[in-house]
A and B are shown apart, each in its own frame.
Chain A
Amino acid sequence: MRIWRTPVLWLAVLLALTLGMDGLEPLFRLIQPDTQSVIYQRETFLFLLGNHVLLVLISATIGTFAAVAGGIFATRPSGRDFLPLVSQIASIGQTFPPVAVLALAVPVLGFGEGPTLVALVLYGLLPVLRNTLAGLDGIDPAVTEAARGMGMSARQVLFQVEIPLAGRVILAGIRTSVTINIATAAIGSTIGARTLGDPVIAGLVNGNTAYVLQGALLIGLLALMTDSLFEALEKLWARRLAPTVSPA
């Protein structure tokens, strides 16, 4: 249970700040003494947080399934021919900054949550894909050869041997993907998605540093919480499915 302590702690801080931002008004007043409103009021922080998380969750789910499926396909005998192509796409994709992906999505898809979601899915695919390939490729060939030679079916080799052994690396890819997308989703505010980026953009436009700070704080806490959550998941995975030392 100890491994869950950090993510729960961050979640508590995140929720406390989301619900109790008003309580920090005197503090923000210090930063922004001349402005009438120092706490972002157009939407509740809870709504923005919920929308933000939803966007990331949906895009991560779609992206992860697509990327893992693609990675598995490219490492099967029937898909081996596509492996160089797929891994090149995965590498090239990494060199695009997230902002560029968003900017490219607008002319095609217009404004709002829709294009943000598409951009998030596309951008989130790549780290997962790259790590799926690396994870599956990193398995000792003797292990899969023995598995097939002993009479396991292709499906059994995949689900009982390859996925458990590559799982930790794939999970690390999902972690990178989700963390990047938490930041990218905030930029979605520039094209009309309702996210924790809203106060940041509003603050920048109106010269209100307090707004910027509130948005940035919550985004940062969300990213920290998510990151520590994945760290816990990776440890759990290692303990359950790929132990390196015997359980004491």
Chain B
Amino acid sequence: MIELKNVTRRFGQTVAVDHIDLTVETGEVCVLVGSSGCGKSTTLRMINRLLPASSGEILVDGEDVTGMDLQRLRLNMGYAIQGTGLFPHWSVARNIALVPRLLKWPKERIDARVTELLQMLEMDPASFADKYPQQLSGGQAQRVGVARALAADPNILLMDEPFGALDAITRENLQLEMLRLQRQLKKTTVFVTHDIDEALRLATRIAVMDQGRIVQHDTPENILRRPASDFVENLVGKQDRGLKLMALRPVRDLMTPHDKPRPAEPGADGLKEDDSLRLALSVMLWQDLRQVAVFDHQGNETGVLLRERLIEGGV
């Protein structure tokens, strides 16, 4: 758990972060979102003390970070940033092994961990371990950056616009990857972004920041349904809130399940239980369908989603 109590950061005369209070529960993803210069990065960097707080208290699992040994504090927090910050003179494997080496793990354990992480991020260890960062694509490099942050299995993950420099398609893939990993690993995560869609997709709770203050701290659904101010309302987009809300819910919520799963007919087309209602609506509109079959991970048809049901209960 991370607690910020009345934390302020000044740069000379300007106040970058203005008396904020924020609690990030264990295992949740807290996304700090806001336009550039709103203090979200500064807030993140105060948690691992890359910047000291001017006043206020920051507690990690109840312990004040100011009193903690700096190396011990940071080694227990994975850190991933925009542009990766991978060491260009180290191979992918050595980059990932950075923190385990600092923690003096035995070599066999490090090697096993590197292989495990590369597989977890769907990169073939045999072909990637010995490459250098400049030989990777943007998306691959960012995966390695995430792997490096996860290497020593830290309790806390700090991510500062990690996908900010990627193209839209790669970014979406990495966001999905992130969701998958988070379901498995349940890290306490603080994630900074200026992209509200990224925030809505990844967050357990979102903290919207403006001019150094947190203007609303709530779940994605509540942020969309009950924006606390005009600023938040504009940030989430007034008009397409309906679609954004649908994007938060899986098809599973509204489908009409079959009594028992049926094996799919070959070539059958449909949605997966985890697909969003937004995607379902899009498919129905495009193909002009009144209902769509829904499949589980094994490919069995588990139910159907009806158009009326979706329109009535989607938002």
Give A residues with C-beta under 8 Å from B: 140, 142-143, 145-153, 156, 161, 164-165, 241-246
Q: A150-B148, A153-B71, A246-B132 are in contact. Are A145 and B85 (CB under 8 A)?
A: yes
A149 proximity list for chain B (CB < 8 A) = 48, 50, 74, 79, 81, 85, 158
Q: How far is the CB of B70 from chain A (nearest CB, A)?
A: 8
Q: How far is the CB of A242 from chain B (nearest CB, A)?
A: 4
Q: How far is the CB of B47 from chain A (nearest CB, A)?
A: 10
Given A150-B102, A243-B89, 20 new contacts (CB under 8 A)? A142-B85, A145-B81, A146-B81, A146-B85, A146-B87, A148-B74, A149-B50, A149-B79, A149-B85, A150-B74, A150-B75, A150-B99, A151-B70, A151-B71, A151-B72, A151-B102, A152-B71, A153-B71, A244-B132, A246-B131
Q: How far is the CB of B29 from chain A (nearest CB, A)?
A: 19
Closest to B80 in A: A146
**CB under 8 Å from chain A, chain B span 189-208:** none
Question: A143, B85: Cβ atoms under 8 Å?
Answer: yes
A153 proximity list for chain B (CB < 8 A) = 71
Question: B88, A143: Cβ atoms under 8 Å?
Answer: yes
B89 proximity list for chain A (CB < 8 A) = 164-165, 241-243
Question: A245, B79: Cβ atoms under 8 Å?
Answer: no
Q: How far is the CB of B85 from chain A (nearest CB, A)?
A: 3
List, sorted by A's number, 28 A–B pairs whose CB atoms are closer than 8 Å. Answer: A140-B83, A140-B88, A142-B82, A142-B83, A146-B79, A146-B86, A147-B85, A147-B87, A149-B50, A149-B74, A150-B74, A150-B79, A150-B99, A151-B70, A151-B71, A151-B72, A151-B73, A151-B102, A152-B71, A152-B102, A153-B71, A156-B102, A244-B132, A244-B134, A245-B135, A246-B130, A246-B131, A246-B132
Question: A145, B102: Cβ atoms under 8 Å?
Answer: no
Q: Looking at the complex, which one of A152, A156, A165, A246 makes contact with B88 (CB distance below 8 Å)?
A: A165
Q: Looking at the complex, which one of B71, B84, B130, B135 makes contact with A146 (CB distance below 8 Å)?
A: B84
Question: B132, A142: Cβ atoms under 8 Å?
Answer: no
Q: How far is the CB of B268 from chain A (nearest CB, A)?
A: 45
Question: 8 smallest A-B Cβ distances: which pairs?
Answer: A146-B85, A151-B74, A151-B75, A149-B79, A142-B85, A242-B89, A142-B83, A151-B71
**CB under 8 Å from chain A, chain B span 111-153:** 130-132, 134-135, 145, 148-149
A241 proximity list for chain B (CB < 8 A) = 89
Bound form: Cα–Cα A245–B134 in Å: 8
A150 proximity list for chain B (CB < 8 A) = 74-75, 79, 98-99, 102, 148-149
Bound form: Cα–Cα A242–B130 in Å: 14
Bound form: Cα–Cα A147–B145 in Å: 12
Question: A143, B86: Cβ atoms under 8 Å?
Answer: yes
Task: Please classify the interface of chain B as helix (H, G, I), strand (E, B), loop, or mixed, using the class held by over half of its residues.
Answer: mixed
Task: Please classify the interface of chain A as helix (H, G, I), strand (E, B), loop, or mixed, using the class held by over half of its residues.
Answer: helix
Q: How far is the CB of B142 from chain A (nearest CB, A)?
A: 12
B48 proximity list for chain A (CB < 8 A) = 149
Closest to B151 in A: A150
Question: B135, A142: Cβ atoms under 8 Å?
Answer: no
A152 proximity list for chain B (CB < 8 A) = 71, 98, 102
Question: B135, A140: Cβ atoms under 8 Å?
Answer: no
Bound form: Cα–Cα A93–B180 in Å: 59
A164 proximity list for chain B (CB < 8 A) = 89
B73 proximity list for chain A (CB < 8 A) = 151
Question: B148, A143: Cβ atoms under 8 Å?
Answer: no
Bound form: Cα–Cα A145–B74 in Å: 12
B85 proximity list for chain A (CB < 8 A) = 140, 142-143, 145-147, 149
A146 proximity list for chain B (CB < 8 A) = 79, 81, 84-87, 145
